[in-house]
Amino acid sequence: MGMGEDGRRSGEGRQGETKPNGADTGEGSQSNSMPAAALLAGLPGEALVREGLADCQAGRCTIAACLIGIAGPRLTRAGLISAAGISALREPEFQLYRLLRQQGSDAYSRYNALLRELVSFESALDLRCRHSLADL
């Protein structure tokens, strides 16, 4: 996997499990004037993203944290996390799939469903950020 059109990235290579850390769930964001809580409120997938941000901040490698790693560039642009918060999680796409396989469910279907939910969240976040900047 390489750099995608939507800014998603894949890691350089996996050398064992790494834990994400450094998530910034503070009050404000760098690219707009809305507080983080207001920026996330009501967006599709909000609960999953909030869980992932908390997991990243606590250094846990979970399904939700992997989604934060995948969405890292957009979350960084929105000011929800720092670049350091996503750099610790290597190959979040592969780690997400691995975690889903460990659950014993249909990993492929669940993976695709989670990515669809994440894309929906990212689109809504981008729209909210554009509207927030336009209101300045």
pLDDT for 87:
63
Instruction: Give the pLDDT band of residue 82 (cuts 50, 70, 90).
Output: confident
Contact 87, 19 (CB under 8 A): no
pLDDT for 81:
85
Instruction: Give the pLDDT band of residue 1 (cuts 50, 70, 90).
Output: very low
Instruction: Give the pLDDT band of residue 136 (cuts 50, 70, 90).
Output: low
Region for 104 from its dihedrals, namely left if φ exceeds 0, alpha if ψ lies in -120 to 50, beta otherwise = left
* Domain-wise residue ranges, the chain: 36-134
Mean pLDDT over each residue of the chain, to the nearest integer? 77
6-25 pLDDT per residue, tens: 444 433 333 333 333 333 43
27-59 pLDDT per residue, tens: 333 455 677 788 899 999 999 999 999 998 888
Distance CA 136, CA 131 (A): 9
Helix/strand/coil (H, E, C) string of 17-32? CCCCCCCCCCCCCCCC
94-116 pLDDT per residue, tens: 999 999 999 987 999 999 999 99
Q: What is the DSSP letter of 82?
A: -
Instruction: Give the pLDDT band of residue 134 (cuts 50, 70, 90).
Output: low
List Cα–Cα distances, 79 to 33, 47, 97, 127, in angstroms: 10, 18, 27, 14
Residue 38's Cβ-count burial label (10 Å; 0-12, 13-18, 19+) is middle
Distance CA 76, CA 46 (A): 16
